[in-house]
């Protein structure tokens, strides 16, 4: 991935510093709020506390309560009022505290956020961002580790993205806030504290594009958010065994970048998609289905899905058994008939 | 954002705290400025509100007459199969027109499917209002031009939009009020609660009108609440609540007008219940004989909001025959126009289905669009027709 | 499909009568209520009105207000209280008026209905049925024609079924009510008035099995609910062109009957799945992905998805352009490289 | 189902209707039976409630002492890393214990994550309560045996379960009450509204206790409501609402006890707000210094519910030294048992992950189970260990 200088109207570049993904998101919010006073931020605990993951740390002190504030504890209320604010031309960025706590807002998301532009023939647009700290692997008790992306990606009208690293986190959040369409911005909780040296502002690939994270010739691994690292680990391990793995970070879940993924798959002729969510009806199904539809005659083997099991997310002490690991990825690749 | 005094520093104070939250029980008897015989009501029963000026009442009358004529016309057209569905507001004109007349051009309105006549009163063309019920497109008017959100079906959801918009306006220091209508049934939804609560906590300039027409499709309001009035809910949010005779346009106008003024001057939201009755069926596909008696309907027909005001205006000598004729003409003109637009089939372009889903076209949608285009072209060829999108006409 | 005599404890069999799907569902509710007084029915307008689709017609008059009643208008409340009733050992059958109006209940469905058995190690079970009149093609205005199955099938812990004909409607609803697990029972609105001669009670295949509706040798068409008819129409039309199509009615969306579907696909080596919902992230993705995974080397062509477009469901006058038709199915089959 | 008189036949009657809905404003000053100095409160401030018998108070005291000791022990174990998380109820003992003590064995309780000490009081073993917070499994106790639903995290959702269960019991004519606890923050959720409303419309035997501990994580209650008290919400549902000093266990017990009795005898639901304070952080991963001052916490520590009752019991001569020693011993025994169970690692079987998803095993799950089993076997082989599921122990 290349981090070039930005097109965003943000403060001048500074020397590279180690930034966590949480820090990069914080900086993106800060810079977006500074650049555009239509950007407002609210949700549960985003004010003095700075969010339970500290993504909004310090922003209320800097921008005041009229730009960032704690709302009543009601997710439908948060998303529903954000719709109204966006209708008035604001650019609200709201936070759902965890995937599972976005569910009370489901009707507002599906029946309004996703449909408003279409219902009104483009007259009424909703430039808003719904941030969702997502997925698991943080030892959270029940309802704190759901993966909700399949619900959003199955909903026409929503744009759904998930960064896997600090640079993308910054760049994609800025782009999401600048977007005239609503964006479901998913933040993998287990990556919040991952670090990278960054010079801000940073602009990475457009948020609707997948990116080849590592080149390879034998297999394409498709990951997003937390599973990009899993894919890279698998690629490292496979290299020792003489298997060359290409790793693609999908970044944009909806739309899907058929071009980048297709090019990779046509090169390697084998692909697997990795996600934390359960397999049945998960986002990987769409990936597998469309990659197969579009590249069937280039495929030497079925597109595999290396995912969580088809069960509710487990309790903290059992989650290690549920999560897809590099080992599981490699074991899955072994199930292919490699002699084909 | 202002912290209500009630809670200020609660940590450090004793449990005895001051507050500026409203905690007055709405009157159990609905506020009324004109009784059913068309006589002015004064004193306690009027809840401290004044009967509007005659000019205002005449204008409200005119609007109700036009609205009624429109509504009857649309119901007739629906029976002729010209509309996919139409939820009539027959009998609810005092609520619909009284409240919408209380906001200004710069204010916003968030209606439900039931509130077509309020949109008409707001100046939207019948053809644009009815595009959705005719089945052409989900919404047919320009939201921004009229400052009217699209008519919302998922119940109570639009109330939150109204609160958000009002809050945005307040943050921008624009003196704008957002008014939203809800049905009695819709008050049971979680979103109604969240809307009332966000509005009260944020003290947004929002006016909530609950049109208690006593039914949610077939379900009577007794199955929606155990409270004495729906306006009682206001107490739980620390906002003013008013229980109003929803067949008295004078009261509806006066109370909503006061709430709008309060909201505009920073006084926060108000919850108003208008007690009325839905004379027509829920929509054309409903069968009200299954859940209510003709006697009930007759009872409420005798409480007609238009006749009530008419009696008053006539007794005051304000409604002259020439004025009445003028109003009837205006109403007939609207009806005629409605007939015209609704009997002319709109040219629909199926390919437009793909145009408004996202700001930037997606590759997959363009592929799907191309496929449909090819299909339509082929259909046109087969049909021997010259028009490229023959599939659209039906 | 074979309709044999029942195992349900229901009134004795009578002479066959023409029954609509709505009528069959009504009879199933009636018989279940008569057989087991733990069965209660509630929702919006299910009482005196008999439901907006008349599925509960006459039941309140027969069983009284303590067995079937109109609840307040709040879907989360309906599902949430049903959970409590099921905890107490009742067997509530609740109705969501349309797919889109189940969304307010999403949190209760995903965080509780789906998870209760698992959270409590099987100590607390929820024998409840959530009926959802689903999909479109009835000229409904916006929000009345959504297809919500992908949301439920992506949720581990839910059982999701959809009958396509009156006999299945009766038999599967009885089985769903008898089930000790919660069942999302989806009823294709456009099929409510379709008729079949039936002798009640009728027991068809178990509700977790797919059924071969029509045998064929060249292609397998996988449909469910409203698209079974579409598939049959396509099969009829194709026959004239010498193409032999096998039609499978999936019936159970979760679990998926890999056995029946796999056997068909291995026979024909070509398959397509048909649904009304948008394609992207739709249930067809799971079907295509798993059929491919499990039968890749038997497939001569990619599994196709013939579906709605990736847009919000259109207005009544435009829905005909959106819905998958037999013509579209046949056109899709034409895109395969048939010489392979 | 009973139709409230208010709405009966509303169609045929005039707008003036009778009703049996409750519409009394909760007292603004919280109801209190013992003041902070441990003196009995009488008259209006006591809201018509009587101080419970000394025996009852002694038992409530004992329960609070045990609960406090347990809570402190678990917080300590959490700091040692023995639990994944623990939401303490330190300071809320009067609410937690007073209310739970008001229901009987046959009644049901629907707790939140905060209410472990109420479950302890209900007789559930510490090890079973804490299985979830230790991270072993989502819920560790037998719901049916204790008539306690599992601790619920999605806010306010369990309130609807309580209403449903209560309604089912009523339909079965079982004299059972369902009690549920909610936080102040949770009252903002749509589900809280729907639960209050369903309960009131159906007149279910449900008691809602809102523990207003003044924060929802970091958000003060001033951002949750603009109402004077959270109990004011009751008005909007036509049910009785009580605003109670939540640090006075005598008042909490007396008011909830009355509500339970009312519910059991068919009088319908009650909403009770206990005004209290969360002394500890929200959970161990919270940093309360970011949103509240040490001074506030100190202020509330001086209003300790246990000390308050203790003063009274001592002044009455009821709390003898030997009784006190006995209680301390009981508390220490619970703490010791808690330490024991929490320092013994449970044997977890990862394969059980697949066992409780559905009543009937699904083929796909069995496949996945077999794969995990093979993995575990291989891991065990690699580790040279004999145990088949070595992966489980950590
Ligand atoms: C969330 C949701 N649930 C159910 C419906 C279906 N529905 C449409 S109108 C209606 C009744 C609404 O009654 P009320 O709020 O009193 O408004 P009215 O129609 O009387 O104006 C119902 C149940 C819906 N539109 N939205
Ligand atoms: C629906 C939902 N949204 C958000 C959360 C995250 N969350 C957990 S506890 C909490 C605060 C709850 O405050 P309150 O109801 O006052 O209860 P307390 O923790 O003070 O006992 C929040 C926001 C949740 N559990 N559920
Ligand atoms: Mg109504
Ligand atoms: Mg709290």
| Residue D55 to residue D62: CA distance in whole angstroms | 11
| Residue C229 to residue C191: CA distance in whole angstroms | 9
pLDDT average, residue stretch B302-317? 98
Whether B136 and B19 map to the same domain: the answer is yes
- Nearest CA to CA, how far is C80 from chain B (Å)? 12
* Residue of B170, B174, B58, B164 whose CA lies nearest to B105: B174
pLDDT average, residue stretch B116-135? 98
* Residue of D210, D271, D264, D211 whose CA lies nearest to D240: D271
- Ligand 1 atom closest to the Cα of residue C143 is 25
Provide the pLDDT for residue C15: 80
- Ligand 1 atom closest to the Cα of residue B87 is 19
Whether B22 and B116 map to the same domain: the answer is yes
From the number of C-beta atoms within 10 Å of its C-beta (0-12, 13-18, 19+), residue D128 rates as middle
Look at chain D and report how many structural domains it folds into: 2
Say if B283 is an interface residue toward chain C (CB within 8 Å): no
- Nearest CA to CA, how far is C207 from chain B (Å)? 32
Give the C-alpha distances (Å, rounded to integers) separating B159 from A81, A91, A103, B179, B199.
Answer: 9, 19, 19, 9, 10
A211-333: in CATH 3.30.2350.10: no
Find the DSSP H helices in D172-303.
190-202, 249-264, 294-301
CA closest to D137 among chain C residues: C119
Residues in chain B: 394
Say if C157 is an interface residue toward chain A (CB within 8 Å): yes
Q: Which chains touch D (3+ CB pairs under 8 A)? A: A, B, C
> What percent helix, strand, coil does chain A show, rounded to 5?
40, 20, 40
Q: Are strands A39-43 and A68-70 parallel, antiparallel or unpaired?
A: parallel
From the number of C-beta atoms within 10 Å of its C-beta (0-12, 13-18, 19+), residue D275 rates as buried
Whether B266 and B360 map to the same domain: the answer is no
- Residue B138 Cα to ligand 1 midpoint, Å, equals 17
Going by CA atoms, what residue is nearest to atom 18 of ligand 1? B183
The answer to whether the Cβ–Cβ distance between C142 and B225 falls below 8 Å is: no
Share of chain B above pLDDT 70, in %: 92
- Nearest CA to CA, how far is D178 from chain C (Å)? 10
Find the DSSP H helices in C154-257.
166-178, 227-240
Contacts A89 to B, Cβ<8 Å: 168
* Residue of B169, B241, B233 whose CA lies nearest to B202: B169
Contacts C88 to D, Cβ<8 Å: 164-165, 168-169, 172
Task: Read off the pLDDT of residues C125-151 as tens digits, 9 standing for 90 and up.
Answer: 999 999 999 999 999 999 999 999 999
Q: Exposed e or buried b for every residue in D98-124, given b needs 16+ CB within 10 A?
A: bbbbbbeeebbbbbbbbbbbbbbbbeb
Task: Read off the pLDDT of residues D217-232 as tens digits, 9 standing for 90 and up.
Answer: 999 999 999 999 999 9
Contacts D1 to C, Cβ<8 Å: 65-66, 69
CATH code of B35's domain: 3.40.50.970
SS3 call for D204: coil
Provide the pLDDT for residue B285: 87
The answer to whether the Cβ–Cβ distance between D226 and B235 falls below 8 Å is: no
Q: Which of C118, C154, C337 is facing A281, going by the closest CB pair?
A: C154
Provide the pLDDT for residue D385: 52
Q: Is C122 left (phi over 0), alpha (psi -120 to 50) or beta?
A: left
Same fold, A17-198 and A211-333: yes
Give the C-alpha distances (Å, rounded to integers) separating B179 from B101, B106, B108.
Answer: 11, 12, 6
From the number of C-beta atoms within 10 Å of its C-beta (0-12, 13-18, 19+), residue D145 rates as exposed
Task: Read off the pLDDT of residues A104-124 as tens digits, 9 standing for 90 and up.
Answer: 999 999 999 999 999 999 999
Q: What residues are in contact with ligand 1 under a 6 Å CB criterion?
A: B 114, 153-155, 183-186, 213, 215-217, 278, 282; C 44, 73, 97, 101, 104
Residue extents of the structural domains in chain C: 17-198, 211-333
- Residue B120 Cα to ligand 1 midpoint, Å, equals 21
pTM of the model: 0.96
- Ligand 1 atom closest to the Cα of residue C104 is 1
The crossing angle, in degrees rounded to 10, of helices C227-240 and C326-334 is 60
- Residue C284 Cα to ligand 1 midpoint, Å, equals 32
Whether B42 and B124 map to the same domain: the answer is yes
By most ligand atoms within 8 Å of CB, the mutation choice from D110, D113, D209, D217 for ligand 2 is D217
Provide the pLDDT for residue B346: 87
- Residue C115 Cα to ligand 2 midpoint, Å, equals 19
Provide the pLDDT for residue D190: 98
Look at residue B390 and tell me whether its pLDDT is greater than 50.
no
Name the domain boundary from D342, D362, D377: D342
Provide the pLDDT for residue B11: 31
At CA D25, angle to CA D19 and CA D30, rounded to 5?
A: 145
The answer to whether the Cβ–Cβ distance between C80 and D359 falls below 8 Å is: no
Find out whether A245 and A232 touch, Cβ atoms under 8 Å.
no
| Between B382 and B340, residue with greater pLDDT | B340
Going by CA atoms, what residue is nearest to atom 3 of ligand 2? A101
Contacts C208 to A, Cβ<8 Å: none
Of A164-173, B107-116, B381-390, the range with the lowest mean pLDDT is: B381-390
Q: Cα-flanking dihedrals φ and ψ of residue C253, to 5°? A: -85, -35
Residues near ion ligand 4 (CB < 5 Å) are: D 183-184, 213, 216
Contacts A311 to D, Cβ<8 Å: 353-354, 357, 365, 368
| Residue ranges in chain D modelled with pLDDT below 70 | 1-19, 384-394
Provide the pLDDT for residue D12: 28
Q: Which of B166, B198, B357 is facing A118, going by the closest CB pair?
A: B357
| Residue A29 to residue A37: CA distance in whole angstroms | 12
Chain A / chain B CB contacts < 8 angstroms: 134
For A173-223, give the DSSP string.
HHHHHH-SS-EEEEEEGGGTT-EEEE-SS-B-S-TT--EEEE--SSEEEEE
Of A181-195, A311-325, B177-191, D282-296, the range with the lowest mean pLDDT is: D282-296
Q: Which CATH number fits domain C17-198: 3.10.330.10, 3.40.50.1010, 3.10.20.30, 3.40.50.970?
A: 3.40.50.970
Whether B146 and B286 map to the same domain: the answer is yes
Q: Exposed e or buried b for every residue in A142-169, given b needs 16+ CB within 10 A?
A: bbbbbbbbbbbbbbbbbbbbbbbbbbbb
| Residue C164 to residue C207: CA distance in whole angstroms | 12
Catalytic positions of C: 144
By most ligand atoms within 8 Å of CB, the mutation choice from D71, D88, D183 for ligand 2 is D183
Say if D153 is an interface residue toward chain A (CB within 8 Å): yes
Whether B364 and B277 map to the same domain: the answer is no
Provide the pLDDT for residue B4: 39
Task: Read off the pLDDT of residues B254-283 as tens digits, 9 standing for 90 and up.
Answer: 999 999 999 999 999 999 999 999 999 999
- Nearest CA to CA, how far is D117 from chain A (Å)? 19
Whether B230 and B289 map to the same domain: the answer is yes
Provide the pLDDT for residue C284: 98
Provide the pLDDT for residue C11: 52
| Residue A66 to residue A89: CA distance in whole angstroms | 16
Say if D384 is an interface residue toward chain C (CB within 8 Å): no
Look at residue B210 and tell me whether its pLDDT is greater than 80.
yes
ipTM of the complex: 0.96
Provide the pLDDT for residue D21: 85
Share of chain A above pLDDT 90, in %: 94
Provide the pLDDT for residue D384: 67
Q: Which of C103, C277, C301 is facing A111, going by the closest CB pair?
A: C103
| Residue D101 to residue D87: CA distance in whole angstroms | 21
Provide the pLDDT for residue D19: 44
Tell me the average pLDDT of chain D.
92
Contacts B91 to D, Cβ<8 Å: none
Q: DSSP code of A110?
A: I
Residues 6+ apart with CB under 8 A from D296: B11, B12
Of B164-168, C317-321, D12-16, D347-351, the range with the lowest mean pLDDT is: D12-16
| Residue D44 to residue D41: CA distance in whole angstroms | 9
Say if D191 is an interface residue toward chain A (CB within 8 Å): yes
Look at residue B10 and tell me whether its pLDDT is greater than 80.
no
User: What is the enclosing helix (H) or strand (E) of C129?
Assistant: strand C129-134
Question: HSE-up of C256 (CA within 13 Å, CB side)?
Answer: 24
Name the domain boundary from D301, D323, D342: D342
Name the domain boundary from B318, B342, B366: B342
Residues 6+ apart with CB under 8 A from D188: A72, A73, A74, A77, B194, B197, D216, D224, D225
Residues 6+ apart with CB under 8 A from A323: A136, A137, A276, A308
| Residue A297 to residue C94: CA distance in whole angstroms | 47
Residues 6+ apart with CB under 8 A from B359: A117, A125, A179, A180, A181
Q: Which chains touch B (3+ CB pairs under 8 A)? A: A, C, D
| Residue B234 to residue B239: CA distance in whole angstroms | 5
Task: Read off the pLDDT of residues B316-346 as tens digits, 9 standing for 90 and up.
Answer: 999 999 999 999 999 999 999 999 999 998 8
Going by CA atoms, what residue is nearest to atom 17 of ligand 1? B183
Whether D386 and D310 map to the same domain: the answer is no
Look at residue C41 and tell me whether its pLDDT is greater than 90.
yes
Share of chain B above pLDDT 90, in %: 89
The answer to whether the Cβ–Cβ distance between B219 and C47 falls below 8 Å is: yes
Q: Cα-flanking dihedrals φ and ψ of residue A171, to 5°? A: -65, -45
Provide the pLDDT for residue D390: 38
Look at residue C92 and tell me whether its pLDDT is greater than 70.
yes
Find the DSSP H helices in chain B.
54-79, 93-100, 116-121, 126-134, 143-146, 157-171, 190-202, 249-264, 294-301, 305-315, 321-343, 363-382
Contacts A309 to D, Cβ<8 Å: 353-354, 365, 368, 372
- Residue A290 Cα to ligand 3 midpoint, Å, equals 46
Provide the pLDDT for residue A14: 67
Whether B150 and B248 map to the same domain: the answer is yes
The answer to whether the Cβ–Cβ distance between C156 and D357 falls below 8 Å is: yes
SS3 call for D19: coil
SS3 call for B242: strand
Find out whether D84 and D133 touch, Cβ atoms under 8 Å.
yes
Say if A333 is an interface residue toward chain C (CB within 8 Å): no
Identify the band that residue B391 occupies on the pLDDT scale cut at 50, 70 and 90.
very low
Give the C-alpha distances (Å, rounded to integers) separating D342 from A101, A315, D71.
Answer: 29, 16, 13
> What percent helix, strand, coil does chain C show, rounded to 5?
40, 20, 40
Share of chain C above pLDDT 90, in %: 94
- Ligand 2 atom closest to the Cα of residue A103 is 1
- Nearest CA to CA, how far is A155 from chain D (Å)? 23
Look at residue A248 and tell me whether its pLDDT is greater than 70.
yes
- Residue B224 Cα to ligand 1 midpoint, Å, equals 12
**Domain range for residue B174?**
5-342
Residues 6+ apart with CB under 8 A from D158: D110, D111, D112, D149, D152, D180
Question: HSE-up of C313 (CA within 13 Å, CB side)?
Answer: 27
Question: HSE-up of C120 (CA within 13 Å, CB side)?
Answer: 24
Look at residue C3 and tell me whether its pLDDT is greater than 70.
no
Whether B213 and B276 map to the same domain: the answer is yes
Look at residue C315 and tell me whether its pLDDT is greater than 90.
yes
């Amino acid at each position: 991935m290349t981090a070039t200088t930005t097109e965003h109207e943000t403060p001048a570049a500074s020397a590279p510093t180690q930034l966590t993904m949480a820090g990069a998101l914080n900086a993106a919010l800060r810079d977006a709020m500074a650049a555009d006073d239509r950007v407002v931020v609210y949700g549960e605990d985003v004010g003095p506390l700075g969010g339970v993951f500290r993504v909004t740390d310090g922003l209320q002190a800097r921008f005041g309560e009229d730009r960032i504030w704690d709302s009543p504890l009601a997710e439908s209320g948060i998303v529903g009022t954000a719709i109204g604010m966006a209708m008035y031309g604001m650019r609200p960025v709201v936070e759902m505290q965890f995937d599972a706590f976005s569910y009370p807002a489901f009707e507002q998301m599906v029946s309004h956020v996703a449909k408003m532009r279409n219902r009104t023939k483009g007259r009424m647009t909703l430039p808003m961002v719904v941030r969702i700290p997502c997925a698991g692997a943080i030892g959270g008790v029940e309802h704190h580790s759901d993966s909700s992306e399949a619900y959003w990606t199955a909903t026409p009208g929503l744009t759904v993205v998930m960064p896997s690293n600090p640079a993308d986190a910054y760049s994609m959040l800025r782009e999401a806030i600048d977007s005239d369409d609503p964006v479901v911005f998913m933040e993998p909780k287990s990556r919040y504290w991952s670090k990278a040296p960054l010079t801000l502002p940073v602009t990475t690939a457009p948020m609707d594009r997948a990116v080849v994270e590592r080149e390879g010739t034998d297999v394409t691994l498709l990951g997003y958010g937390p599973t990009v690292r899993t894919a890279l680990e698998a690629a490292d391990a496979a290299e020792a065994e003489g298997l060359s793995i290409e790793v693609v970070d999908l970044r944009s879940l909806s739309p899907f970048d058929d071009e980048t993924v297709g090019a990779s798959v046509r090169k390697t002729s084998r692909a697997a998609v990795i996600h934390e969510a359960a397999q049945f009806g998960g986002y990987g199904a769409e990936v597998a289905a469309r990659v197969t539809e579009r590249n069937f005659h280039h495929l030497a083997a079925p597109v595999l899905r290396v995912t969580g099991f088809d069960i509710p997310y487990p309790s903290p002490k059992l989650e290690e058994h549920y999560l897809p690991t590099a080992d599981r990825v490699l074991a899955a690749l072994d199930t292919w008939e490699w002699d084909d | 954002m202002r912290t209500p005094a009630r809670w200020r520093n609660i940590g450090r104070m004793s449990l005895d705290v001051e507050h500026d939250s409203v905690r007055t029980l709405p009157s159990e008897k609905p506020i009324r400025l004109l009784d059913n015989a068309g006589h002015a009501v004064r004193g306690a029963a009027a809840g401290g509100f004044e009967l509007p000026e005659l000019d205002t009442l005449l204008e409200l009358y005119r609007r109700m007459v036009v609205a009624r004529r429109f509504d009857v016309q649309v119901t007739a057209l629906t029976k002729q199969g010209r509309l996919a569905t139409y939820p009539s507001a027959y009998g609810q004109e005092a609520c619909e027109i009284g409240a919408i007349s209380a906001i200004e051009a710069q204010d916003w309105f968030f209606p439900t499917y039931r509130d077509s006549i309020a949109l008409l009163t707001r100046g939207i063309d019948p053809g644009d209002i009815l595009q959705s019920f005719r089945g052409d497109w989900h919404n047919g008017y320009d939201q921004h031009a009229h400052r009217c959100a699209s008519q919302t079906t998922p119940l109570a959801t639009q109330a939150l939009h109204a609160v958000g918009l009002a809050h945005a306006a307040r943050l921008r220091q624009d003196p704008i009020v957002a008014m939203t209508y809800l049905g009695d049934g819709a008050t049971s939804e979680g979103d109604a609660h969240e809307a009332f609560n966000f509005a009260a906590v944020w003290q947004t300039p929002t006016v909530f009108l609950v049109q208690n027409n006593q039914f949610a499709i077939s379900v009577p309001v007794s199955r929606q609440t155990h409270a004495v009035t729906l306006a009682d809910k206001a107490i739980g949010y620390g906002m003013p609540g008013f229980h109003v005779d929803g067949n008295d346009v004078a009261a509806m106008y006066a109370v909503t007008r006061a709430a709008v003024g309060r909201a505009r001057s920073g006084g926060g939201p108000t919850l108003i219940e208008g007690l009325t009755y839905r004379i027509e069926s829920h929509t054309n596909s409903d069968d009200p004989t299954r859940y209510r008696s003709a006697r009930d309907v007759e009872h409420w027909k005798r409480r007609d909001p238009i006749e009530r005001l008419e009696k008053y205006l006539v007794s005051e000598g304000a409604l002259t025959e020439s004025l009445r004729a003028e109003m009837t003409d205006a109403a007939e003109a609207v009806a005629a126009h409605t007939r015209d637009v609704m009997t002319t089939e709109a040219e629909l372009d199926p390919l437009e289905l793909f145009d408004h889903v996202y700001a930037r076209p997606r590759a997959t949608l363009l592929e799907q669009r191309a496929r449909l285009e090819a299909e339509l072209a082929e259909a046109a060829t087969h049909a021997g027709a010259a028009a490229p999108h023959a599939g659209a006409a039906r």
